Amino acid sequence: MHNFNELANTISVGIYVIIKGEIGMTGIDPKVDFIFKIIFGNEDNTDILLSFLNSILKLEKQNRLDKIEVLNPFIKRELLEDKTSILDIKAKTIIGELINIEIQLSNKYNMDKRSLYYWSKLYSGQLSVGEDYKQLKKTITINIINFNYLDGKDFHKVFHLKEESTGKILNDQLEIHFVELLKVPEATKEERDPLQMWLQFLKYENKEVLEEYAMADPAIKKAINVLDLLNRDVDTKELYEIREKALKDETSMINGAKLEGKIEGKLEDAAKMLEKGLSVEDIMEITGLKIEEIKKVM
Tens of pLDDT, residue by residue over 140-165, are 999 999 999 999 999 999 999 999 99
CB atoms closer than 10 angstroms to residue 15: 20
pLDDT band of residue 276 (cuts 50, 70, 90) is confident
Lowest mean pLDDT of 57-71, 221-235, 279-293, name the range: 279-293
Q: pLDDT of 159-205, one tens digit each?
A: 999 999 999 999 999 999 999 999 999 999 999 999 999 999 999 99
What residues have CB less than 8 Å from 21, skipping those under 6 apart?
A: none
Looking at the whole model, is its pTM more than 0.85?
no
Amino acid at 170: L
Q: Apex CA 66: angle with CA 114 and CA 121, to 5°?
A: 20
* Local confidence band at 1 (pLDDT 50, 70, 90 cut-offs): very low
Q: In this model, does residue 295 exceed pLDDT 60?
A: yes
Range scoring the smallest mean pLDDT among 120-124, 127-131, 244-248: 244-248
Pairwise CA distance, residues 69 & 266, whole Å: 51
Lowest mean pLDDT among 163-167, 250-254, 270-274: 250-254
Of 54, 122, 129, the C-alpha closest to 88 is: 122
Contact predicate 93/59, CB 8 Å: no
pLDDT at 86 over 90: no
- The pair phi, psi for residue 87, each rounded to 5°, is -95, 65
Percent of the chain clearing pLDDT 70 (strictly above): 86
**For range 6-17, the mean pLDDT:** 48
Going from N- to C-terminal start, the domains of the chain cover 4-232, 234-298
Q: Which amino acid is at 72?
A: N
Question: Using 50, 70 and 90 to split pLDDT, how confident is the model at 91?
Answer: very high
**284 confidence band (pLDDT: 50, 70, 90):** confident
Alpha carbon distance 113, 73 (integer Å): 26
Q: Average pLDDT of the chain?
A: 85
% of the chain at pLDDT higher than 90:
57
